[in-house]
Amino acid sequence: MRCAFCTAEAIVDRPYAGDHLCGDHLGRSIADRFRREMRRQAPRMRSGRVAVALSGGKDSATALVLTRRYFERRPTVELVAISVDEGIAGYRPSTLAKAQELTAQLGVEHRIVRAESALGVTTDQAVERLPGTVPCSFCGVWRRGLLNEAAREAEAELLVLGFNLDDLAQSILMNLAHAEVDRLLRMAPHRKKQPGLVPRIAPLATVPEREIFLHALANGIPFDHSECPHARAAERNVFREVLWRLEEVRPGTRHALLRTRETIADLLERNGGEGAPSRCSLCGAPSTHAICRSCEYRRAAAEAVVAE
Ligand code: SF4
Ligand SMILES: [Zn+2]
Ligand SMILES: [Zn+2]
């Protein structure tokens, strides 16, 4: 199969767009979509610091490479990459090594936040102490909190996340299926600045996971392929499969879900908005509850040790 824009062999088909692309045109197309989303999600970013969450996987590695390229001609913008070490044996050390390799290659400052020292508990320890709880529920909450704190400490105006189209479409569908409209609105990309929260943006939002993978591979971007050993229990896996099936039957479903979220947010904004979160009474982080979920999970993990 040939590329839709040149005579080269295609490396990816895009049923939602009705075309095929070669490696070169895939790269250009991803960069275009990234730029468009950057301009839309962060229109006023002319100077200051931008933090990029870097796990060491393909998505965040690509997000860092493209963010650096985007701000290349703007020396007034400084980048800092932030990685969180949740303490997951057999997974995180190799992804962190790739994150270090990439930041050294790009000459970007790299900060690593360790859950063990920041929270007093690692994801692996919490998995042992909280048997019945899906690991991603506490791990994801902790990582979000640590990334926000580190971005605040770095005095960043923005936090760039590597979420791709598949990630976001899965999250939207999950939140809809759980009737959690408030969470749907709190998802990245953030439209407004909220007290205590560095606005999170997702400039790869319209790019499917597979295209990012092929692009990163074709361009020699250092990233780690390993999968988290705790990911198997995640409910997200079911939504991933459902979406693959839907996308096969009706290409463009993932893009439609993104638009659905935007439409709901527009409608609610016109009706007075979602309301600002208040603060957690224990740690002071922005929270919609009196005690934030990060503190709830930390308390449960600590109580489990006492009970042993
Ligand atoms: S898959 Fe779940 S447990 Fe593993 S790093 Fe991601 S959020 Fe944490
Ligand atoms: Zn081409
Ligand atoms: Zn808290």
285 occurs within a structural domain: no
What pairs with residue 111 in β-bridges?
82
Ligand nearest to the backbone CA of 294: 3
Question: Which segments in the chain show pLDDT lower than 70?
Answer: 272-277, 308
Burial class (CB in 10 A: 0-12, 13-18, 19+), 259: exposed
291 occurs within a structural domain: no
CA distance 284 to 287: 8
Dihedral class, residue 85 (left if φ above 0, else alpha if ψ from -120 to 50, else beta): beta
10 occurs within a structural domain: no
Count the neighbouring beta carbons within 10 Å of the beta carbon of residue 237: 12
CATH number of the domain within which 147 lies: 3.40.50.620
State in Å: Cα 218 to ligand 2 middle. Answer: 14
Number of domains making up the chain: 1
State in Å: Cα 196 to ligand 3 middle. Answer: 12
Ligand nearest to the backbone CA of 227: 1
304 occurs within a structural domain: no
Ligand nearest to the backbone CA of 297: 3
Which residue's CA is minimally distant from atom 3 of ligand 1? 136
Instruction: Tell me what pLDDT residue 276 has.
Output: 59
284 occurs within a structural domain: no
State in Å: Cα 72 to ligand 3 middle. Answer: 37
pTM comes to 0.93
Which residue's CA is minimally distant from atom 7 of ligand 1? 136
CB 200 within 8 A of CB 161: yes
195: containing domain: 35-277
CB 261 within 8 A of CB 187: yes
Give the gyration radius of the chain's Cα atoms: 20
42 occurs within a structural domain: yes
CB 287 within 8 A of CB 182: no
Measured from the CA of 92, which atom of ligand 1 is nearest? 5
294 occurs within a structural domain: no
12 occurs within a structural domain: no
Which residues have C-beta atoms less than 6 Å from ligand 1?
A: 86, 88, 123, 135-136, 139-140, 228, 230-231, 234
State in Å: Cα 296 to ligand 3 middle. Answer: 7
